[in-house]
Structure 1
């Protein structure tokens, strides 16, 4: 009786099982993808992946098959491509809590240095959609702060925050745009965040967003919309945060409502 092939062995258990279609045949690229996961684990973070030619010879498959397997691992954030250099094993994704904590606090808890590059800081009229979210008239003025989010100097997201001018008239006097906005609001302006509503969806970045974040426009992004309010229940902030899906994940803790 012949020994089981590599693909037979893999399809018996583990990740390949999840990729088996109804007809029972494991797609060749998917079997290679699982083999690559083992290679990635052996190489370790930051190591260069073998060349396409080497992988084709190792797995006895075509370049197209290798490219499809590698491409999916790039989309999933397990590999990263560097233009003119090659493909490398990516580090673990950053984890942000879905809670009333700032981006800064979330990263510092993981021992990661947060940073921001200011793109826009302006005073503008709210307009109809924003006014509806903040429960004000459309001609009310808001501060608009747009910043590229950094994690240990790596660009990982783009955040746009809108705050009511009437609620925070001294904001520009006390706020350093490269520091934590939430820390400024709570420590300098006495703001209490009592609650927020957040919605998460997957999108593709616009050409401008992809350029600012430094990512491929074809990579999936995580888009978060948040409206925050204080103890009086009146909303005072709207935030639109766009994160790289290959570099960030989110976590929350759920409990049973009795």
Structure 2
């Protein structure tokens, strides 16, 4: 059965009328064919389990009597949602997303709490004059030396993000010699230098990765990413660091605890 992305099919609405709202099914009960297929693939993913190999596009097209373009569109959405991931030449069921808290805690601590193994790969640790727009955030004068630490973030050997940290050389003069780039930067500041974080300001937005970022993180350039801009202060209220954190939108979600 040939089908285009725009064709629609009826979708059976349960008697209570509530489930279609939660599932994204409009009241008239008709959905694009790729969405109809996507809804039917979800139970298959649950049956296969994490790491399970998905049948080929051809096999899925024959099984559900749809076109291969309909299959591709359904798989694209499941990939973007993080339910599937590419593995070699095939597609497998992805594990649950990492739920990172929006709090003053290191990436290492957040990943370990979820039973995953954190890791980092150093892209670069450079020292250069501080540009004027960054000086106020770091509590230093324009032109004073600052460190730029850039690392790829891993969880269980899977690339999940990119971390870019700026900090004044005056705060951590021996960073290049003393710091293990595979370890937690927060732990280094706390345990080696006695510097503790007091509070931070964060801004979260969605972006598309640049070609360079997509190459480093190992994702297609069109994959939505979660970007966090963070400015941290120490317990005395002095500026400490400016961080740019880029996370894969298909592998991360964020949590925050609210109170009165």
State the number of aligned residues. Answer: 251
Q: What are the equivalent positions in structure 2 for 1:92-241 lying under 5 Å apart?
A: 92-241=96-245
Q: For the residues of structure 2 that align with 1:166 and 1:51, how far apart are their CA atoms? A: 56
The 2-side partners of 1:92 and 1:8 are apart by 28
Q: Offset of 1:135 from its aligned partner?
A: 3.6
Normalised to the residue count of structure 1, the TM-score between the two structures is 0.90
Q: Distance in 2 between matches of 1:78 and 1:179?
A: 29
RMSD over aligned Cα, in angstroms? 2.0
How far did residue 26 of structure 1 move?
1.8
Q: Cα deviation per residue 1:184-216 (whole Å; 9 max; x = unaligned)?
A: 100010001000011111111111111111111
Question: In 1, distance between residues paired with 2:14 and 2:33?
Answer: 11
Say which of 25, 28, 33 aligns to 1:28: 33
Q: Which residue of 1 aligns with 2:4?
A: none
| TM-score scaled by length of structure 2 | 0.90
Q: Give 1:24 deviation, angstroms.
A: 4.8
Point out the more displaced range, 166-175 or 35-44.
166-175
| Cα distance between partner residues in 2 of 1:215 and 1:15 | 32
